[in-house]
A = this chain, B = another copy of it.
Amino acid sequence: MASLHPSLRSPITAADRVLLEIQRAIVEGDIAPGSKISEPELAKQFDLSRAPLREALARLERCHLIERIPNAGARVVKLSTQGLLSLYQLRETLEGLACRLAAEHMADTEIAELRALLDQHLNTQRVREGESYYQEAGDLDFHYRVILGSKNEYLINILCDELYYLVRMYRVQLGMNGPRVSRAFDEHKAILNAIANRDGELADLLMRRHIAASRRNIEKQLEQTGT
């Protein structure tokens, strides 16, 4: 694979650590959208030199969390309805493809594991109803596994390493919760069944619908908050 998630790579460098911290801070809104990134300031804050920090910034740019202008500096991205639309448009298509490929390429054992995962999520959902953290983690886990099941390295890279964090940022800052939660589980189940039946076309369709529904949900939140 071109680039693995830092936490999954053997040697963890200083740049990796600061990357994860800043990534989290941006995604969760601790660093405000649109705010300027100051290299000296951040370097002092994390107590390291600018070299590993710049490495981290390069990767943050790669996953669309910041925008850099040469000789001018970097800014945290601003969320927008247009951006959300573009992002989810892409996700629909890409994860749809991932589903179709997963239906072709996932091993039976992988499918069984995925089914076990869903059952497990269903339980935790019942126990901790309304707590969006577990729900979100479970949802991401499901999507992750399907994407990995596609066995297409470029597709995996784009979805998991480049688009994922931005998707999460929209969800965290705009709130993915409410009645959609329970429905999402049913949709996951249906997708899994399609994959298990090796029906790539149906899996594709269901995943696209699933994401479209998710998009509409967030869009609603965005309009309430105001651009």
Contact = CB atoms under 8 A, between A and B. Distances in A.
Interface string A141-181: 00000000000111101100011000000000000000000
Contacts of A2: 61, 64, 67
Interface string A111-153: 0000000000000000000000000000000000000000011
Interface range on chain A: under 10, 10 to 19, 20 to 34, or 35 or more? 35 or more
Interface in A80-108: 83, 86-87, 89-90, 93-94, 97, 101
Interface of A is mostly: helix
A147 to B, nearest CB: 12
A62 interface: yes
Contact of A58 (B10, B55, B70, B153): B55
Interface of A: 2-3, 9-11, 13, 16, 51, 54-55, 58-59, 61-62, 64, 67-68, 70-71, 83, 86-87, 89-90, 93-94, 97, 101, 152-155, 157-158, 162-163
